Amino acid sequence: MLFDKRNANTLPLTSTGNWSVEEDILTKEESPLNLRRSSIISGKEKALIHLKLKLSLLKILIRQYRNPLDWIKGLRFLIKLRRRFLGDHVLNKMAFVDGKYYMGLFTPGWNDQVYERFIASELKNFKENNTAAFRFNHVFLAITKKCALRCEHCYEWESLNKKETRTTAEIQATVQRLQDFGTAQLHFTGGEPMLKIDTLISLMQKATEETNFWMNTSGLKLTSINARRLKEAGLTGVFISLDHYQAEAHNSFRNYKDAFYWATEGAKNARNNGLVVAFSICMTKEFVNEENIRKYMDLAKDTGVHFVQFLEPKNVGHYKGKEVSLNDGQIKLLENTFLKMNFSNGYLDYPLITYHGYYQRKHGCYSSGKKGLYVDTDGDINPCTFCHRKSGNILDPDIEEKLEQMTTSGCPEF
């Protein structure tokens, strides 16, 4: 089965939604971009980059503050901030993608203007500086209700494949507003954003370079050509949903017979075209055991992705009213896997793991308008993708007041 033999309009669907794609998959062959290597680095190479990173932090401090004492105190503040989340654990590897180095999925890659502004924004909690701070570290922006899949855990189930309520111009205005607020990372989601690839490209081309753009996708239609188009338009990376290491199990979970094919091949195409690639897995009660996690991480390593994101199931969307929460033993297994694979020397060639639940149980949720939020398919703001509590529309004139109300209410779970 080859990408150049397929047309997205003829893909077999199991859903009944009235959706269409914006553009057929091109049939011509085209080689990936000529980019620098993409890999997981460790050992001496990682140590050298980490030293350069520390020196760059010192340069940022020197540019922000005149008093040398502030340079020292500011560096200590950043070290203390890091330890607040990682404790005494030392990250033994980084992802190197197209000339940048990544230690996590929600921290900009080192070293560019977005990274410097991100650090300067954090330093405002130490002492005021002249940099325009990022209001949000990350925002999830749904750009379509349309999707070819009918996923078991879909958080937008009630809206899926219904009539679109926002125009492209309104979505463009949303991107501009979020950039005006100051947003370090903007994650395009849906529905399936690849069904709006021309819209995606237009949004990024018209945006400023003050934001890193990401896409959350099933991998559908993520050919090498489309990955290249997205990269050239300004996309930083992709979160590709893959919920099992067995094709049949993933296809069943997504209710789409080619889901595994598109997820794995899309990941390779994205990686080959200089995009940061993360597999995102919903860790269901039925899946979470030591053998399944090990085999999944083996597949992620063999596919060449840079990160794996562990998500705990939430009773929202298609899971609404269902008992889907993990038990204490399963949560402990995920935490141990996260710590072992990220911070020990036995897994240096494996992708880095991002596990939000680990931090949220220790420090609370940083979404809910604090550091992030979710703009849904109607343009309404919500605390996050798994907490559907609308607080008004992102384009409302009194949006600042509504954001303040959301932040005050906080996260209902953490």
Using pLDDT thresholds of 50, 70 and 90, give the confidence band for residue 114.
very high
Q: Which residues contact 137 (CB under 8 A, 6 or more apart)?
A: 106, 118, 184, 185, 366, 371, 372
Percent of the chain with pLDDT over 90: 81
pLDDT digits (tens, 9 = 90+) for 359-382: 888 888 888 889 999 999 999 999
pLDDT digits (tens, 9 = 90+) for 306-340: 999 999 999 999 999 999 999 999 999 999 999 99
pLDDT digits (tens, 9 = 90+) for 278-316: 999 999 999 999 999 999 999 999 999 999 999 999 999
Average pLDDT, integer, range 14-30: 45
Count other Cβ atoms within 10 Å, centred on residue 207.
Answer: 18
β-sheet bridge partners, residue 276: 237
Instruction: Say yes or no to pLDDT of 154 above 50.
Output: yes
Q: Which helix (H) or strand (E) holds 380?
A: none
Output the pLDDT for position 366: 81
Amino acid (1-letter code) at residue 99 = G
Count other Cβ atoms within 10 Å, centred on residue 111.
Answer: 19
Output the pLDDT for position 8: 38
Output the pLDDT for position 36: 55
pLDDT digits (tens, 9 = 90+) for 52-70: 999 999 999 999 999 999 9
Q: What is the DSSP string of 209-261?
A: TTSEEEEEE--TT--HHHHHHHHHHTEEEEEEE---SSHHHHHHHHT-TTHHH
pLDDT, the chain, mean = 90
pLDDT digits (tens, 9 = 90+) for 195-227: 999 999 999 999 999 999 999 999 999 999 999
Q: Match 């049939």 to its residue by tokens.
A: 27
Output the pLDDT for position 5: 29
Name the CA radius of gyration of the chain, rounded.
21
Please state, in angstroms and rounded to a whole number, the distance separating the CA atoms of residues 223 and 268. 9
Output the pLDDT for position 38: 74
Q: Of 47-51, 73-77, 386-390, which gets the smallest average pLDDT?
A: 386-390
Comparing 173 with 20, which gets the higher pLDDT? 173
Q: Which two tokens stand for residue 323?
A: 């008992």
Output the pLDDT for position 10: 36
- What torsion, rounded to 10 degrees, do the Cα atoms 56, 62, 64, 65 define? 150
Tell me how far CA of residue 341 lies from CA of 90, 310, 355, in angstroms: 12, 13, 12
Question: What is the phi/psi pair of residue 234, to 5°?
Answer: 125, 10
Residue 244 contacts residue 283 (beta carbons within 8 Å): no
358 secondary structure, DSSP code: H
Q: Is 31 helix (H, G, I), strand (E, B) or coil?
A: coil
Percent of the chain that is helix, strand, coil (3-state, to 5): 45, 15, 40
Please state, in angstroms and rounded to a whole number, the distance separating the CA atoms of residues 123 and 133. 9
Most confident of 90-99, 111-120, 241-250: 241-250
Output the pLDDT for position 7: 37
4 secondary structure, DSSP code: G
Q: Is 280 helix (H, G, I), strand (E, B) or coil?
A: strand
Q: Which two tokens stand for residue 222?
A: 């993520």
Instruction: Say yes or no to pLDDT of 25 above 50.
Output: no
Q: Is 359 helix (H, G, I), strand (E, B) or coil?
A: helix
Using pLDDT thresholds of 50, 70 and 90, give the confidence band for residue 35.
low
**CATH number of 134-409, picked from 3.40.50.300, 3.50.30.10, 3.20.20.70, 3.40.50.620:** 3.20.20.70
Question: What is the phi/psi pair of residue 186, to 5°?
Answer: -120, 120
Q: Which residues contact 30 (CB under 8 A, 6 or more apart)?
A: 224, 225, 228
Percent of the chain with pLDDT over 70: 90
Using pLDDT thresholds of 50, 70 and 90, give the confidence band for residue 87.
confident
Q: Of 142-151, 248-257, 259-268, 401-410, which gets the smallest average pLDDT?
A: 401-410
Q: List the domain boundaries for the chain.
A: 39-123, 134-409
Please state, in angstroms and rounded to a whole number, the distance separating the CA atoms of residues 100 and 94. 10
